[in-house]
Chain A
């Protein structure tokens, strides 16, 4: 019998393959295979929603039913929005058995190695919630307000397959992030270099990140942070790819829909991996606003992004609200979930309409004006908030800086990142950045701005590596490392940069 530690990831991989099948040509074989496991895991939330709605424990039948619902819903919506893809990149038939074999070998190796890292939250938040969910099938207030539904559902699934301790998926997410970073570094950060240094530097920078003590610890830690980092990176990369910012190939309007559909699925993973995940999704939605502002308009890519995000969250939250109502709790209240989802709908409308709004729309289409617009909104929102909340906001800011620079267990990593960011602003002309690097930096800063708002409003945290905001910084570390590598790559390349060198091309999106 296949042990749970191996079966769970393999089932997720197969589920992701099926769910993403209509998008495979749009996103290409590399992203398709890398994203399959993280996206496939989302199906277990649908299983949990079904067990919750019907008041039954986790079982084989409801497990199958949940996966069928997830795959048919996601693939069905993808077909409706993106249509049958004739253009795009072919996915060779042999890539499935090859990727499956590599994934299976890696999973088995990790299962046999048996490595894990544990803190108090690992069992109080996740394993025990998984036990509860497995036995009762109930997504209760404790889980929805304090954990998010995704990870307890994953732990419950492991229990269903007779596992006792869920540990392999966390390390698989770490490898997923590193693999995806290697791909985007080759395609973007070092793309202007000759082949050998391009590949060598890409792998070198990925290895340097992977060898950091903080990365090693989080690669095994049973907690939400590495999974959130994976979903965030997939979403950011997919948003940029859909905007024509990754790769030299022209992409069609349908392909853009496919990319943004993937981004929405990954955003759903980010939203449900933690109670504050719904708030951090706004970093992605804001990035989508900024990218969308400069491109030919059409409603389908936005429908892809928001449609897939709302589909997955609805499959989970609607049954939960029907079962336990609009819960009240110490952490995430049910009413806040509704407010956050409602506000995202307003942002969707703004994203669709503002670029069409006469002179404002024309202004937004000028390079970086959309980023300036977003920055202005941030400043207008955050500074009054800081003034109103006073001490708590200042303490939260001091704690996050203190943790990143000193007490958070990062070593010299964030010093280097901050230093490179400042250097990149001073040496902008020498780097000859295109819009992509501005977007990556914007995504990074927007994420921290949201984090400051969350922690300024709720709890300012403490100077300790376990501090919530400190661990949340891991989510955006791959994005930051992408920016660092991009600056390095830009300096090493011959200075012919800018948007033209990045080949930003998107064919008419008004289909």
Chain B
């Protein structure tokens, strides 16, 4: 029996639409073979429950603020009470800023240091650059722990509630120094 013309037209329309959908979805099927990095998207990697591994690949200059805070937590054996910093954060060490849409963002960020350490940030006037003798003394009395972004923590047997941020003569490394050590230098 011949199909009514209207039904035949509707079927033709359905098949045409289906053909168009297949054409539209074909590139999507091809895209399924791509990896995220092929489209410049973040690529998954293995970090597990290790924050240093998770963050270690980040290239931002401001990572120094994050790792300074995390290093402080190691010195505190947990969360920190106070982090003493110089009056100008740029005095901590020489680091380039990050640029976001042509706007410079300083490497040392009080917000990032506060959040990553859980501490109050306190501005103080003190000598930031450590002498070789002071560094040797720290190595003798404390355990040195290295972090990415050239951050070093000096960790004692007892938790510390306060730390000072220092650098060396080259003004590259950031040293997180327990207050108990700094007090021996007359602070």
Interface-lining segment among A215-223, A266-274, A341-349, A387-395:
A215-223
Write the nearest CB–CB distance from A190 to chain B, whole angstroms: 14
8 Å CB interface, B30-52 against A: 30-32, 34-36, 38-51
Determine if B134 is an interface residue (Cβ-Cβ < 8 Å).
no
8 Å CB interface, A433-471 against B: 462, 465
B55 partner, pick from A118, A129, A214, A462, beta carbons under 8 A: A118
- Bound-state CA distance A409–B40 (Å) is 7
Determine if A135 is an interface residue (Cβ-Cβ < 8 Å).
yes
- Bound-state CA distance A415–B21 (Å) is 11
Question: What residues on A are CB-neighbors of B46 within 8 Å?
Answer: 113-116
Using CB atoms, name the residue of chain B closest to A211.
Answer: B32
Assess whether A430 is in contact with B58, with CB atoms less than 8 Å apart. Answer: no
Interface-lining segment among B88-96, B114-122, B156-164, B176-184:
B114-122
Q: Which of B34, B54, B111 has the most CB of A within 10 A?
A: B54
Assess whether A411 is in contact with B14, with CB atoms less than 8 Å apart. Answer: no
B66 partner, pick from A117, A123, A415, beta carbons under 8 A: A123
Question: What residues on A are CB-neighbors of B53 within 8 Å?
Answer: 165
8 Å CB interface, A121-142 against B: 122-124, 127-129, 131-132, 134-136, 142
- Bound-state CA distance A298–B184 (Å) is 75
Determine if B112 is an interface residue (Cβ-Cβ < 8 Å).
yes
Assess whether A492 is in contact with B18, with CB atoms less than 8 Å apart. Answer: yes
Determine if B4 is an interface residue (Cβ-Cβ < 8 Å).
no
Assess whether B10 is in contact with A429, with CB atoms less than 8 Å apart. Answer: yes
Write the nearest CB–CB distance from A481 to chain B, whole angstroms: 10
Question: Known contacts being A124-B112, A491-B14, is A164 close to B66, with CB within 8 Å?
Answer: no
Write the nearest CB–CB distance from A484 to chain B, whole angstroms: 8
Question: Known contacts being A5-B49, A423-B17, A495-B14, is A220 close to B54, with CB within 8 Å?
Answer: no
Assess whether A420 is in contact with B24, with CB atoms less than 8 Å apart. Answer: yes
Write the nearest CB–CB distance from B10 to chain A, whole angstroms: 6
Write the nearest CB–CB distance from B21 to chain A, whole angstroms: 6
Question: Known contacts being A132-B114, A411-B27, A427-B17, is A114 close to B49, with CB within 8 Å?
Answer: yes
* B-side interface residues, number (CB < 8 Å): 50
- Bound-state CA distance A410–B31 (Å) is 9
Assess whether B32 is in contact with A119, with CB atoms less than 8 Å apart. Answer: no
Determine if B29 is an interface residue (Cβ-Cβ < 8 Å).
yes
Assess whether A213 is in contact with B17, with CB atoms less than 8 Å apart. Answer: no
Question: What residues on B are CB-neighbors of A217 within 8 Å?
Answer: 36, 41-44
Question: What residues on A are CB-neighbors of B16 within 8 Å?
Answer: 427
Question: What residues on A are CB-neighbors of B24 within 8 Å?
Answer: 415-416, 419-420, 423
Assess whether A116 is in contact with B17, with CB atoms less than 8 Å apart. Answer: no
Determine if A510 is an interface residue (Cβ-Cβ < 8 Å).
no
Question: What residues on A are CB-neighbors of B36 within 8 Å?
Answer: 117, 213-214, 216-217, 409
Assess whether B58 is in contact with A118, with CB atoms less than 8 Å apart. Answer: yes
Proximity string of chain A (409-425) to chain B, C-beta cutoff 8 Å, 1 when within and 0 when not: 11111011001100100
Assess whether B54 is in contact with A412, with CB atoms less than 8 Å apart. Answer: no
Question: What residues on B are CB-neighbors of A487 within 8 Å?
Answer: 17, 21
Determine if B136 is an interface residue (Cβ-Cβ < 8 Å).
no
Question: Known contacts being A142-B111, A419-B20, is A411 close to B28, with CB within 8 Å?
Answer: yes
Write the nearest CB–CB distance from B113 to chain A, whole angstroms: 10
- Bound-state CA distance A426–B24 (Å) is 15
- Bound-state CA distance A229–B44 (Å) is 19
Question: Known contacts being A135-B118, A411-B31, A419-B24, is A214 close to B41, with CB within 8 Å?
Answer: yes
Question: What residues on B are CB-neighbors of A132 within 8 Å?
Answer: 114-115, 118
- Bound-state CA distance A115–B31 (Å) is 22
Q: Which of B29, B30, B39 has the most CB of A within 10 A?
A: B39
Determine if A431 is an interface residue (Cβ-Cβ < 8 Å).
yes
8 Å CB interface, A62-121 against B: 111, 113-120
Question: What residues on B are CB-neighbors of A4 within 8 Å?
Answer: 49
B48 partner, pick from A114, A410, A413, beta carbons under 8 A: A114
Question: What residues on A are CB-neighbors of B112 within 8 Å?
Answer: 124, 128
- Bound-state CA distance A165–B53 (Å) is 9
Determine if B172 is an interface residue (Cβ-Cβ < 8 Å).
no
A167 partner, pick from B42, B47, B101, beta carbons under 8 A: B47
- Bound-state CA distance A427–B54 (Å) is 49
Assess whether A117 is in contact with B44, with CB atoms less than 8 Å apart. Answer: yes
Determine if B187 is an interface residue (Cβ-Cβ < 8 Å).
no
A129 partner, pick from B14, B34, B50, B115, beta carbons under 8 A: B115
Assess whether A116 is in contact with B14, with CB atoms less than 8 Å apart. Answer: no
8 Å CB interface, B93-139 against A: 101, 111-112, 114-116, 118
- Bound-state CA distance A411–B96 (Å) is 35
Determine if B8 is an interface residue (Cβ-Cβ < 8 Å).
no
Question: Known contacts being A116-B54, A217-B41, A430-B14, is A164 close to B31, with CB within 8 Å?
Answer: no
Question: Known contacts being A213-B39, A409-B41, A415-B24, is A164 close to B115, with CB within 8 Å?
Answer: no
- Bound-state CA distance A427–B21 (Å) is 12
Write the nearest CB–CB distance from B109 to chain A, whole angstroms: 9
Assess whether B41 is in contact with A427, with CB atoms less than 8 Å apart. Answer: no
- Bound-state CA distance A275–B69 (Å) is 25
Determine if B141 is an interface residue (Cβ-Cβ < 8 Å).
no
- Bound-state CA distance A431–B57 (Å) is 49
Determine if A208 is an interface residue (Cβ-Cβ < 8 Å).
yes
Using CB atoms, name the residue of chain B closest to A407.
Answer: B40
Assess whether A220 is in contact with B44, with CB atoms less than 8 Å apart. Answer: yes
Question: What residues on B are CB-neighbors of A491 within 8 Å?
Answer: 14, 17-18, 21
Determine if A296 is an interface residue (Cβ-Cβ < 8 Å).
no
Q: Assuming A212-B32, A411-B39, A412-B30, what are 14 further A-B pairs, CB within 8 angstroms?
A: A114-B46, A118-B58, A165-B47, A167-B54, A212-B31, A213-B36, A213-B38, A213-B39, A409-B39, A411-B28, A413-B28, A413-B31, A415-B24, A419-B24
Q: A interface vs B, CB < 8 Å?
A: 3-5, 57, 111, 113-120, 122-124, 127-129, 131-132, 134-136, 142, 163-165, 167, 208, 211-214, 216-217, 219-222, 409-413, 415-416, 419-420, 423, 426-427, 429-431, 462, 465, 487-488, 491-492, 495
